[in-house]
Amino acid sequence: MTDDAEPQTFAKNFICNVCNLLFHSMKELGHHVSDHAEEWPYKCEFCVLLFEKPSALLDHRSSLHGVDKTYLCSACPKDFVYFSVFAQDVLRGKSPPSADECHTL
């Protein structure tokens, strides 16, 4: 990097899935989605995405948020409702966790 180069900045942007408008905070996007509530009445309770049909919302909740899915442990008979809970040990390099470790999650 040279002295005259500008430092790189990172910003998270939030995009409306209905009209593709860009917002710089989740709060701004949250206020904006109410503009689409009549045409797109199905809102995900986990994020701010809106859907025109209930079936699209159900597909989204299942595929993105893991709703109605269970994750089975290969080390013990325990299953997990949330992938993130099961993945905690996997991310720490324990793949799969032992049966004793599974029961402490």
Could you tell me if 21 and 57 lie in one domain?
yes
Could you tell me if 59 and 18 lie in one domain?
yes
Q: Which domain holds residue 58?
A: 14-65
Q: Does 105 score more than 50 pLDDT?
A: no
- Work out the average pLDDT over 24-45: 90
Q: Structure pTM? A: 0.52
The percentage of residues in the chain with a pLDDT greater than 90, rounded to a whole number, is 25
The CATH number for 53's domain is 3.30.160
Could you tell me if 84 and 50 lie in one domain?
no
What the block records as the tokens of 60 is 């989204």
> Is residue 1 situated within a structural domain?
no
pLDDT of amino acid 65: 81
> Is residue 3 situated within a structural domain?
no
- Integer CA distances (angstroms), 49 to 29, 61, 69, in order: 10, 10, 20
Over residues 56-84, the pLDDT tens digits come to: 998 888 888 877 777 776 666 666 666 66
> Is residue 89 situated within a structural domain?
yes
**Integer Cα distance of 85 and 102 in angstroms:** 10
What the block records as the tokens of 105 is 């999650």
Number of domains in the chain: 2
